[in-house]
Amino acid sequence: MIKYILAFVFTFSSILVFGQNKIMRIRYVEKNILHGYQFIDDLDLYENYSKFSRNINQSLLVASELVKPSLYSKNPYTLIKDYNKRVLLFNVKYGILRDTLNKIKWNIIPGTKTIIGYNCKMAEATFRGREYQAYFCPEIPISDGPFKFQGLPGLILEIYSKDNFIKYTAMEIVSNETGKLDVKSVWFDNNISFHEYAQKTKKELELMTKKIESRLPPEEQGKIKFSFSEEEIEVFSF
């Protein structure tokens, strides 16, 4: 009888607590040059999962004055990598995006750098429309990193896009972290696929283009060329 009650509670609880012990936490500084903001993000590593989220309390200390705290406290920025199922869950403005845990084609190139006391090697890759350069640490043999980045033979401690749009740099590693992975059950219900997400983004961009055109002189309207590729989604929706 008890096992049936437990099964019922687990299924209908608003919070799912995985039997995953936290291994460590890496704290990153995230800089977006285009929008002029800077945030603090946490990457929590578990046995078969990782959770990347924005540290709202810390971020408010470094965010631009133009950024309103309410924008980020309403819809907390969270991304979960499930290494068992090879899926990635990410809360976007249209709902919970369910994406494949993409195998990024990294190219390890000559170059080293010391980041928070760790010796790192250099790698580069093109991922969904942007070129990235990363520094990973073979001393920490965990194939993960900030945001959607993973797949190198070591933890990514720094990564930035070559167009200087976005940059993540580790500022500290806490190895004595404790706790379980808590995830709201809604994350596993009514997900939107990557294709659906791309199509919604495309429609939004098309409407935005039409609005911009409507403000132009008549002789200039119709001259804006709009093209969109799902493989370049990060350029439009980062």
**176 plus 81 within the same structural domain:** yes
Q: Provide the domain count of the chain.
A: 2
Q: Do 198 and 227 belong together in one domain?
A: yes
119: its two tokens: 């010796």
Q: What pLDDT digit, counting tens, does each position of 199-238 carry?
A: 888 787 778 777 777 776 776 676 666 666 666 666 655 4
Q: Is the domain of 107 the same as that of 198?
A: no
pLDDT in tens, 101-111: 877 999 999 99
Judge if 225 and 148 occupy the same domain.
Answer: no
Domain ends where: 149, 173, 188?
188
Do 101 and 183 belong to one domain?
A: yes
* pTM score of the predicted model: 0.77
The answer to whether residues 60 and 111 belong to one domain is yes
Residues 208 and 106 in one domain: no
Specify whether 98 is located in the same domain as 208. Answer: no
Point out which residues pair with 27 in neighbouring strands.
Answer: 42, 172
**In the listed set 188, 205, 223, which residue is the last one of a domain according to the structure?**
188
Q: Which of the residues in the chain have pLDDT under 50?
A: 1-19, 61-74, 238
Asked if 128 and 169 sit in the same domain, the reply is yes
Identify whether residues 210 and 180 lie together within a single domain.
no
Together in a domain, 114 and 55: yes
- Residues 132 and 107 reside in one and the same domain: yes
Question: The domain containing residue 218 runs over which residues?
Answer: 194-237
pLDDT tens-digit readout, 46-61: 888 899 988 766 655 4
